[in-house]
Amino acid sequence: MKRQLIAAVGVAAMVVGLAACGSDAKKADDAAKPKDYNGKTLTAWVMDGSAPQTWQDGIKADFEKEFPGAKLKLEIQKWNGIGAKVTTALSEGSVDVLEIGNTQTAGYAATGGLLDLTKDKANLGGNDWAANLNNSSVFEGKQYAAPWYFTNRVVIYNKELFTKAGIAAAPKTLDEFYADLDKLKAVPGVTNPIYLPGQEWYTYFGLVVSNKGQIVKKDGDKYVGNLSSPEAKAAFEQYKKLQSYSNAPKDKDEATPAQGGIFAKGDVGAMIGLGWEAPAPKDMAAEKIGFFPIPGVAADKPSGVFLGGSNLAIAQASKNQDLAKGFLKLAMSDKFEGQMASTGLIPNKPSLNSLAVTDFAKAAIPASASGDTTPNIAAWANVENTPNPIKDFLTAALAGDYDAAAKKYDEEITKRLAQKQ
Protein backbone atom coordinates (compact mmCIF):
# COMPACT_ATOMS: atom_id res chain seq x y z
CA MET A 1 0.00 0.00 0.00
CA LYS A 2 1.28 3.41 -0.91
CA ARG A 3 0.00 4.88 2.33
CA GLN A 4 2.22 2.59 4.33
CA LEU A 5 5.07 3.86 2.26
CA ILE A 6 4.13 7.45 3.00
CA ALA A 7 3.92 6.66 6.67
CA ALA A 8 7.30 4.96 6.55
CA VAL A 9 8.82 7.93 4.75
CA GLY A 10 7.33 10.13 7.43
CA VAL A 11 8.89 8.15 10.24
CA ALA A 12 12.24 8.00 8.50
CA ALA A 13 12.25 11.72 7.80
CA MET A 14 11.41 12.35 11.43
CA VAL A 15 14.28 10.44 12.91
CA VAL A 16 16.85 11.60 10.36
CA GLY A 17 17.14 14.78 12.37
CA LEU A 18 18.45 13.08 15.46
CA ALA A 19 22.07 13.91 15.88
CA ALA A 20 24.20 11.08 17.03
CA CYS A 21 25.86 12.06 20.23
CA GLY A 22 27.42 8.69 20.71
CA SER A 23 30.93 7.64 21.33
CA ASP A 24 32.14 4.13 21.43
CA ALA A 25 33.78 3.25 24.65
CA LYS A 26 37.03 1.74 23.56
CA LYS A 27 40.04 1.79 25.76
CA ALA A 28 43.26 3.03 24.31
CA ASP A 29 45.97 0.43 24.37
CA ASP A 30 48.84 1.21 26.62
CA ALA A 31 51.62 2.65 24.55
CA ALA A 32 54.39 0.19 24.14
CA LYS A 33 57.77 1.84 24.06
CA PRO A 34 59.11 1.53 20.54
CA LYS A 35 62.70 0.55 20.02
CA ASP A 36 63.00 2.64 16.90
CA TYR A 37 60.77 5.32 15.50
CA ASN A 38 60.23 3.95 12.02
CA GLY A 39 56.71 4.51 10.88
CA LYS A 40 55.77 6.52 13.96
CA THR A 41 53.91 9.74 13.36
CA LEU A 42 53.49 12.37 16.04
CA THR A 43 50.42 14.52 15.56
CA ALA A 44 50.59 17.99 17.06
CA TRP A 45 47.85 20.61 16.98
CA VAL A 46 48.72 24.27 16.98
CA MET A 47 46.16 27.01 16.78
CA ASP A 48 45.58 29.34 13.88
CA GLY A 49 47.95 32.29 14.19
CA SER A 50 50.20 30.78 16.87
CA ALA A 51 53.24 29.24 15.33
CA PRO A 52 55.16 31.17 12.67
CA GLN A 53 56.13 29.28 9.53
CA THR A 54 59.85 29.33 10.41
CA TRP A 55 59.03 27.71 13.75
CA GLN A 56 56.93 25.03 12.06
CA ASP A 57 59.58 24.21 9.46
CA GLY A 58 62.42 24.35 11.96
CA ILE A 59 60.88 22.14 14.62
CA LYS A 60 59.80 19.61 12.02
CA ALA A 61 63.36 19.32 10.72
CA ASP A 62 64.92 19.12 14.19
CA PHE A 63 62.34 16.63 15.43
CA GLU A 64 62.78 14.28 12.51
CA LYS A 65 66.56 14.53 12.90
CA GLU A 66 66.47 13.74 16.61
CA PHE A 67 64.02 10.86 16.21
CA PRO A 68 65.06 9.16 12.96
CA GLY A 69 62.21 7.49 11.16
CA ALA A 70 59.53 9.42 13.01
CA LYS A 71 57.34 11.95 11.26
CA LEU A 72 55.89 15.12 12.73
CA LYS A 73 52.44 16.08 11.53
CA LEU A 74 51.60 19.66 12.50
CA GLU A 75 47.93 20.49 12.12
CA ILE A 76 46.60 24.04 12.30
CA GLN A 77 43.26 24.30 14.14
CA LYS A 78 40.75 27.14 14.23
CA TRP A 79 39.76 28.58 17.62
CA ASN A 80 36.10 28.59 16.76
CA GLY A 81 34.40 25.46 18.14
CA ILE A 82 37.73 24.00 19.31
CA GLY A 83 36.25 22.65 22.59
CA ALA A 84 34.31 19.72 21.19
CA LYS A 85 37.14 18.95 18.78
CA VAL A 86 39.74 18.73 21.55
CA THR A 87 37.40 16.54 23.61
CA THR A 88 36.93 14.13 20.73
CA ALA A 89 40.64 14.01 19.98
CA LEU A 90 41.55 13.39 23.64
CA SER A 91 38.91 10.69 23.82
CA GLU A 92 40.07 8.88 20.71
CA GLY A 93 43.77 9.48 21.18
CA SER A 94 43.98 10.98 17.69
CA VAL A 95 46.29 13.77 18.81
CA ASP A 96 49.58 13.51 20.72
CA VAL A 97 50.55 17.08 21.53
CA LEU A 98 48.15 19.97 21.50
CA GLU A 99 48.04 23.67 22.13
CA ILE A 100 45.44 24.62 24.72
CA GLY A 101 44.47 28.16 25.59
CA ASN A 102 45.52 29.21 29.10
CA THR A 103 41.90 29.75 30.15
CA GLN A 104 40.98 26.23 29.01
CA THR A 105 43.87 24.22 30.42
CA ALA A 106 42.43 23.67 33.91
CA GLY A 107 39.19 22.42 32.38
CA TYR A 108 40.96 19.79 30.33
CA ALA A 109 43.32 18.88 33.17
CA ALA A 110 40.23 18.13 35.26
CA THR A 111 38.86 15.75 32.62
CA GLY A 112 41.86 13.47 32.97
CA GLY A 113 42.63 13.82 29.28
CA LEU A 114 46.05 15.42 29.75
CA LEU A 115 49.22 13.61 30.73
CA ASP A 116 50.66 14.48 34.14
CA LEU A 117 54.02 16.12 33.45
CA THR A 118 55.00 16.85 37.04
CA LYS A 119 57.99 14.49 36.90
CA ASP A 120 59.11 15.81 33.51
CA LYS A 121 58.96 19.47 34.40
CA ALA A 122 62.63 19.85 35.26
CA ASN A 123 63.72 17.96 32.17
CA LEU A 124 61.60 20.27 30.00
CA GLY A 125 63.38 23.27 31.48
CA GLY A 126 60.51 24.09 33.80
CA ASN A 127 62.67 25.42 36.59
CA ASP A 128 63.28 28.57 34.55
CA TRP A 129 59.64 29.24 33.66
CA ALA A 130 58.17 32.46 35.03
CA ALA A 131 55.90 31.47 37.90
CA ASN A 132 52.99 33.73 36.90
CA LEU A 133 53.03 32.34 33.35
CA ASN A 134 53.18 28.75 34.58
CA ASN A 135 50.09 29.12 36.78
CA SER A 136 47.56 28.07 34.18
CA SER A 137 49.48 24.86 33.43
CA VAL A 138 49.18 23.70 37.02
CA PHE A 139 45.98 22.16 38.29
CA GLU A 140 45.54 20.86 41.84
CA GLY A 141 49.30 20.94 42.34
CA LYS A 142 50.18 18.91 39.26
CA GLN A 143 51.81 20.09 36.06
CA TYR A 144 49.53 19.24 33.12
CA ALA A 145 51.08 21.35 30.39
CA ALA A 146 54.09 23.48 29.52
CA PRO A 147 53.63 27.25 29.16
CA TRP A 148 54.31 28.15 25.55
CA TYR A 149 53.69 31.83 24.89
CA PHE A 150 51.70 34.78 26.20
CA THR A 151 50.44 37.92 24.61
CA ASN A 152 48.02 40.77 25.06
CA ARG A 153 46.16 43.18 22.86
CA VAL A 154 47.34 46.66 21.91
CA VAL A 155 46.03 49.42 19.68
CA ILE A 156 47.14 48.77 16.11
CA TYR A 157 46.86 51.98 14.10
CA ASN A 158 47.15 53.29 10.57
CA LYS A 159 50.04 55.78 10.65
CA GLU A 160 48.96 57.53 7.45
CA LEU A 161 45.47 58.25 8.74
CA PHE A 162 46.82 59.39 12.12
CA THR A 163 49.12 61.86 10.31
CA LYS A 164 46.22 63.07 8.15
CA ALA A 165 44.19 63.66 11.30
CA GLY A 166 47.04 65.71 12.70
CA ILE A 167 47.85 63.37 15.55
CA ALA A 168 51.52 63.82 16.40
CA ALA A 169 52.08 61.31 19.17
CA ALA A 170 50.34 58.22 20.48
CA PRO A 171 47.72 59.13 23.12
CA LYS A 172 48.77 58.67 26.76
CA THR A 173 45.33 58.73 28.39
CA LEU A 174 41.89 57.47 27.45
CA ASP A 175 40.64 61.07 27.13
CA GLU A 176 43.41 61.90 24.68
CA PHE A 177 42.52 58.72 22.81
CA TYR A 178 38.84 59.74 22.55
CA ALA A 179 39.95 63.18 21.27
CA ASP A 180 42.19 61.55 18.66
CA LEU A 181 39.31 59.34 17.53
CA ASP A 182 37.20 62.48 17.12
CA LYS A 183 39.92 63.94 14.91
CA LEU A 184 40.03 60.74 12.86
CA LYS A 185 36.27 60.85 12.46
CA ALA A 186 36.66 64.23 10.74
CA VAL A 187 39.13 62.88 8.16
CA PRO A 188 37.34 62.29 4.85
CA GLY A 189 37.26 58.64 3.79
CA VAL A 190 37.67 57.19 7.28
CA THR A 191 34.90 54.64 7.80
CA ASN A 192 35.84 53.65 11.34
CA PRO A 193 38.05 55.84 13.59
CA ILE A 194 38.50 52.56 15.46
CA TYR A 195 37.18 49.16 14.42
CA LEU A 196 35.79 47.57 17.57
CA PRO A 197 33.05 44.95 17.21
CA GLY A 198 30.52 44.76 20.04
CA GLN A 199 31.61 41.35 21.27
CA GLU A 200 35.34 42.01 21.74
CA TRP A 201 35.18 40.72 25.30
CA TYR A 202 38.98 40.58 25.75
CA THR A 203 39.16 44.38 25.56
CA TYR A 204 36.25 44.64 27.97
CA PHE A 205 37.95 42.17 30.31
CA GLY A 206 41.08 44.36 30.30
CA LEU A 207 39.07 47.45 31.14
CA VAL A 208 37.43 45.61 34.02
CA VAL A 209 40.91 44.75 35.29
CA SER A 210 42.07 48.38 35.19
CA ASN A 211 38.90 49.37 37.06
CA LYS A 212 40.06 46.92 39.73
CA GLY A 213 37.06 44.70 39.11
CA GLN A 214 36.45 41.07 38.24
CA ILE A 215 34.12 39.45 35.72
CA VAL A 216 33.51 36.58 38.13
CA LYS A 217 34.19 36.64 41.85
CA LYS A 218 34.62 34.05 44.52
CA ASP A 219 31.61 33.72 46.77
CA GLY A 220 32.39 31.31 49.58
CA ASP A 221 33.74 28.22 47.86
CA LYS A 222 32.10 28.85 44.51
CA TYR A 223 32.45 31.39 41.73
CA VAL A 224 29.61 33.64 40.58
CA GLY A 225 29.09 36.19 37.81
CA ASN A 226 30.07 39.73 38.77
CA LEU A 227 28.97 41.87 35.82
CA SER A 228 26.55 43.78 38.07
CA SER A 229 29.42 45.21 40.13
CA PRO A 230 30.13 48.97 39.85
CA GLU A 231 33.66 48.26 38.56
CA ALA A 232 32.34 46.13 35.69
CA LYS A 233 29.82 48.84 34.88
CA ALA A 234 32.48 51.58 34.89
CA ALA A 235 34.60 49.46 32.56
CA PHE A 236 31.62 49.01 30.31
CA GLU A 237 31.15 52.78 30.01
CA GLN A 238 34.72 53.08 28.70
CA TYR A 239 34.14 50.17 26.35
CA LYS A 240 30.88 51.66 25.10
CA LYS A 241 32.54 55.01 24.47
CA LEU A 242 35.30 53.36 22.41
CA GLN A 243 32.78 51.21 20.57
CA SER A 244 30.74 54.27 19.65
CA TYR A 245 33.58 55.30 17.31
CA SER A 246 33.09 52.12 15.30
CA ASN A 247 30.64 51.00 12.65
CA ALA A 248 31.54 47.41 13.40
CA PRO A 249 28.56 45.15 14.11
CA LYS A 250 27.58 45.06 17.78
CA ASP A 251 26.62 41.41 17.59
CA LYS A 252 29.89 40.05 16.21
CA ASP A 253 33.35 39.45 17.60
CA GLU A 254 36.75 40.39 16.18
CA ALA A 255 37.04 37.13 14.24
CA THR A 256 33.84 37.38 12.16
CA PRO A 257 34.78 39.00 9.91
CA ALA A 258 38.49 38.96 10.70
CA GLN A 259 39.22 42.52 11.78
CA GLY A 260 42.74 42.43 10.30
CA GLY A 261 41.23 42.16 6.83
CA ILE A 262 39.01 45.20 7.42
CA PHE A 263 41.89 47.20 8.84
CA ALA A 264 43.98 46.36 5.77
CA LYS A 265 41.54 48.18 3.50
CA GLY A 266 43.18 51.39 4.73
CA ASP A 267 40.07 53.31 5.78
CA VAL A 268 40.14 52.25 9.42
CA GLY A 269 42.04 54.42 11.90
CA ALA A 270 42.83 51.76 14.49
CA MET A 271 41.83 48.43 15.95
CA ILE A 272 42.57 46.57 19.16
CA GLY A 273 44.27 43.31 18.45
CA LEU A 274 47.12 40.83 18.80
CA GLY A 275 50.35 41.00 16.85
CA TRP A 276 49.36 38.37 14.33
CA GLU A 277 46.13 40.20 13.54
CA ALA A 278 48.07 43.09 12.01
CA PRO A 279 47.91 42.80 8.21
CA ALA A 280 50.71 40.88 6.48
CA PRO A 281 53.08 42.98 4.31
CA LYS A 282 51.36 41.73 1.15
CA ASP A 283 48.10 43.32 2.36
CA MET A 284 49.49 46.50 3.90
CA ALA A 285 52.99 47.94 4.02
CA ALA A 286 54.57 47.34 7.42
CA GLU A 287 55.74 50.95 7.76
CA LYS A 288 52.11 52.10 7.68
CA ILE A 289 51.23 50.11 10.80
CA GLY A 290 51.96 51.36 14.31
CA PHE A 291 51.27 50.02 17.80
CA PHE A 292 50.66 51.57 21.21
CA PRO A 293 49.25 50.23 24.49
CA ILE A 294 45.57 50.89 25.17
CA PRO A 295 45.83 54.11 27.21
CA GLY A 296 44.61 54.20 30.79
CA VAL A 297 42.76 56.85 32.72
CA ALA A 298 46.05 58.32 33.99
CA ALA A 299 49.10 58.87 31.81
CA ASP A 300 51.43 56.74 33.92
CA LYS A 301 49.61 53.47 33.46
CA PRO A 302 48.03 51.85 30.37
CA SER A 303 44.65 50.12 30.60
CA GLY A 304 44.50 46.59 31.88
CA VAL A 305 44.66 43.75 29.40
CA PHE A 306 43.54 40.19 29.09
CA LEU A 307 46.68 38.07 29.36
CA GLY A 308 46.07 35.50 26.69
CA GLY A 309 48.36 32.63 26.07
CA SER A 310 48.72 29.02 25.22
CA ASN A 311 50.19 25.95 26.79
CA LEU A 312 51.36 22.76 25.13
CA ALA A 313 50.00 19.55 26.60
CA ILE A 314 50.32 15.85 25.87
CA ALA A 315 47.24 13.69 25.49
CA GLN A 316 46.86 10.98 28.12
CA ALA A 317 45.66 8.66 25.35
CA SER A 318 48.70 9.34 23.14
CA LYS A 319 50.44 6.19 21.97
CA ASN A 320 53.68 8.11 21.39
CA GLN A 321 54.24 9.65 24.79
CA ASP A 322 58.03 9.47 24.66
CA LEU A 323 58.06 11.10 21.25
CA ALA A 324 55.59 13.68 22.53
CA LYS A 325 57.87 14.54 25.44
CA GLY A 326 60.77 14.80 23.02
CA PHE A 327 58.78 17.23 20.90
CA LEU A 328 57.78 19.24 23.93
CA LYS A 329 61.41 19.50 25.03
CA LEU A 330 62.35 20.84 21.60
CA ALA A 331 59.51 23.36 21.67
CA MET A 332 60.57 24.54 25.13
CA SER A 333 64.22 24.88 24.11
CA ASP A 334 65.73 28.35 23.88
CA LYS A 335 65.99 27.97 20.12
CA PHE A 336 62.27 27.49 19.46
CA GLU A 337 60.90 29.38 22.43
CA GLY A 338 63.20 32.20 21.33
CA GLN A 339 61.60 32.15 17.88
CA MET A 340 58.19 32.65 19.49
CA ALA A 341 59.62 35.62 21.38
CA SER A 342 61.10 37.18 18.28
CA THR A 343 57.66 37.33 16.67
CA GLY A 344 56.66 39.63 19.52
CA LEU A 345 55.13 37.12 21.92
CA ILE A 346 56.05 36.95 25.60
CA PRO A 347 58.16 33.79 26.12
CA ASN A 348 57.82 31.47 29.09
CA LYS A 349 61.11 32.54 30.68
CA PRO A 350 62.28 36.06 31.38
CA SER A 351 65.78 35.38 29.99
CA LEU A 352 64.30 35.33 26.46
CA ASN A 353 62.33 38.55 26.86
CA SER A 354 65.10 40.53 25.21
CA LEU A 355 64.33 38.74 21.93
CA ALA A 356 60.85 40.26 21.77
CA VAL A 357 61.78 43.48 20.02
CA THR A 358 59.11 43.94 17.34
CA ASP A 359 57.09 47.15 17.32
CA PHE A 360 54.15 45.14 18.57
CA ALA A 361 56.16 43.69 21.47
CA LYS A 362 57.42 47.15 22.46
CA ALA A 363 53.81 48.22 22.95
CA ALA A 364 52.52 44.94 24.35
CA ILE A 365 55.12 44.04 26.97
CA PRO A 366 54.77 47.23 29.08
CA ALA A 367 50.98 46.78 29.04
CA SER A 368 51.25 43.14 30.10
CA ALA A 369 52.35 44.34 33.53
CA SER A 370 48.77 45.40 34.18
CA GLY A 371 47.32 42.24 32.69
CA ASP A 372 45.27 39.50 34.26
CA THR A 373 43.62 36.29 33.25
CA THR A 374 40.50 34.32 34.12
CA PRO A 375 40.33 32.22 37.31
CA ASN A 376 42.32 29.02 37.02
CA ILE A 377 39.38 26.71 37.68
CA ALA A 378 38.06 23.74 35.76
CA ALA A 379 34.60 25.25 35.27
CA TRP A 380 35.87 28.39 33.53
CA ALA A 381 35.95 26.59 30.16
CA ASN A 382 32.15 26.27 30.41
CA VAL A 383 31.81 30.06 30.34
CA GLU A 384 33.75 30.36 27.09
CA ASN A 385 31.64 27.72 25.33
CA THR A 386 29.64 29.10 22.42
CA PRO A 387 27.42 31.06 22.83
CA ASN A 388 29.75 32.85 25.25
CA PRO A 389 27.51 34.71 27.73
CA ILE A 390 30.01 37.58 28.10
CA LYS A 391 29.77 38.27 24.36
CA ASP A 392 25.97 38.12 24.39
CA PHE A 393 26.02 40.36 27.46
CA LEU A 394 28.05 43.01 25.64
CA THR A 395 25.64 43.02 22.72
CA ALA A 396 22.66 43.30 25.05
CA ALA A 397 24.23 46.04 27.19
CA LEU A 398 25.29 48.06 24.12
CA ALA A 399 21.69 47.95 22.95
CA GLY A 400 20.42 49.51 26.15
CA ASP A 401 19.75 48.46 29.69
CA TYR A 402 23.05 47.64 31.43
CA ASP A 403 21.63 46.51 34.75
CA ALA A 404 19.07 44.13 33.27
CA ALA A 405 21.64 42.62 30.92
CA ALA A 406 24.20 42.28 33.72
CA LYS A 407 21.71 40.53 35.96
CA LYS A 408 20.58 38.13 33.26
CA TYR A 409 24.11 37.17 32.22
CA ASP A 410 25.45 36.99 35.77
CA GLU A 411 22.87 34.28 36.29
CA GLU A 412 23.96 32.48 33.13
CA ILE A 413 27.66 32.71 34.09
CA THR A 414 26.94 31.48 37.62
CA LYS A 415 24.94 28.60 36.19
CA ARG A 416 27.77 27.61 33.88
CA LEU A 417 30.36 27.83 36.64
CA ALA A 418 28.24 25.46 38.72
CA GLN A 419 27.65 22.90 35.97
CA LYS A 420 28.58 19.38 36.90
CA GLN A 421 31.68 18.07 35.22
Partner 1 sequence: MAVHSERVQTRSPLVGKDAVDPSQAAAVKGAPKNTRPAAGPGLLARSAPYLLILPAVAATLALLGWPLVKTFIISFQNLNKRQLIQHLTEWNGFDNYSDQLTNAAFWNTAGRSVAFTLVNVVLTMVLGSLVGLLLNRLGKNMRLLLSFALIMAWAMPIVASTTVYTWLFDSQFGVVNWLLSQLGWDSMATYNWYSGQMSTFFVITLLVVWGSVPFVAFNMYAGLTTIPAELYEAARMDGAGSTKIFTSVIFPSLRPFFLATTFLEVIWIFKCFTQVFTLNAGGPERLTETLPVYAYIEGIGNQHYGAGASIAVLTILILGALMAYYFRIILKQEDEL
Which residues are at the interface with partner 1 (CB under 8 A)? 1-7, 9-10, 12-23, 25-27, 81, 83-84, 87-88, 90-91, 107-108, 110-113, 247, 249-251, 316-317, 382, 385-387, 392, 395-396, 399, 416, 419-421
First to last CA, the chain: 51
Residue with smaller CB distance to partner 1, 40 or 85: 85
- Is residue 375 within 8 Å of residue 209, measured between CB atoms? no
For residue 313, list its beta bridge partners.
98
**What does DSSP assign to residue 145?**
S
Q: How far is the CB of 2 from partner 1 (least distance, A)?
A: 4
Q: How far is the CB of 344 from partner 1 (least distance, A)?
A: 31
Q: How far is the CB of 11 from partner 1 (least distance, A)?
A: 9
- Is residue 327 within 8 Å of residue 44, measured between CB atoms? yes
Long-range contacts of 65-68 (CB under 8 A, 24+ apart): 66/326, 66/330, 67/37, 67/40, 67/323, 67/326, 68/36, 68/37
Maximum separation of any 2 CA atoms in the chain, in Å: 84
Residue with smaller CB distance to partner 1, 108 or 380: 108
Long-range contacts of 35-41 (CB under 8 A, 24+ apart): 36/68, 36/69, 37/67, 37/68, 37/69, 37/70, 37/323, 38/69, 38/70, 39/69, 40/67, 40/69, 40/70, 40/71, 40/320, 40/323, 41/70, 41/71, 41/72, 41/73, 41/320
Q: How far is the CB of 250 from partner 1 (least distance, A)?
A: 7
- Is residue 94 within 8 Å of residue 319, measured between CB atoms? no
- Sign for the CA dihedral angle at 298, 301, 302, 306 comes to negative
**What does DSSP assign to residue 269?**
E
**What does DSSP assign to residue 75?**
E
- Is residue 392 within 8 Å of residue 409, measured between CB atoms? yes
Residue with smaller CB distance to partner 1, 176 or 267: 267
Helix spans in 17-118 (H): 53-66, 82-92, 105-111
Q: How far is the CB of 101 from partner 1 (least distance, A)?
A: 15
**What does DSSP assign to residue 137?**
G
**What does DSSP assign to residue 376?**
-
Q: How far is the CB of 251 from partner 1 (least distance, A)?
A: 5
Q: How far is the CB of 39 from partner 1 (least distance, A)?
A: 27
Residue with smaller CB distance to partner 1, 109 or 307: 109
Residue with smaller CB distance to partner 1, 116 or 392: 392
Q: How far is the CB of 399 from partner 1 (least distance, A)?
A: 8
Q: How far is the CB of 227 from partner 1 (least distance, A)?
A: 14
- Is residue 90 within 8 Å of residue 60, measured between CB atoms? no
Residue with smaller CB distance to partner 1, 111 or 228: 111
Residue with smaller CB distance to partner 1, 71 or 250: 250
